[in-house]
Amino acid sequence: MLKKLLVKMGLKANKVVTGEAAQRQISQKQLSQSGLTDKEIQFILTKLRQAQYSGAEFEFFHNVFLKLSNLLKK
């Protein structure tokens, strides 16, 4: 009961996570929210590699490809 009171009053701070631990937590949340499995991400990346891009399309492809690759690495 005392713990609840202290939390409500703002006297007890929650654990602060920084650095690599915070980055891991964020990336895990993003992956769970994306709803894509590793196999699905690999399929999308394969199809993106096969397409032909020109000019501004290539920049957009590159950004999407990097984001999906980062999700797959985690």
What does the alpha-carbon distance between residue 37 and residue 55 come to, in Å, rounded to a whole number?
30
pLDDT over 60 (residue 23)? yes
CB of 25 closer than 8 Å to CB of 9: no
Mean local confidence (pLDDT), 22-37: 69
Record the pTM.
0.51
Question: pLDDT band at residue 65, thresholds of 50, 70 and 90?
Answer: very high
Across 21-33, average pLDDT: 68
The residues spanned by each domain of the chain are: 36-74
pLDDT value at 48 more than 90: yes
Cα–Cα distance measured from residue 48 to residue 28, given in angstroms and rounded to the nearest whole number: 24
Please write down the HEC assignment for all residues of 7-72. HHHCCCCCCCCCHHHHHHHHHHHHHHHHCCCHHHHHHHHHHHHHCCCCCHHHHHHHHHHHHHHHHH
| Residue 59 pLDDT grade (very low, low, confident, very high; cuts 50, 70, 90) | very high
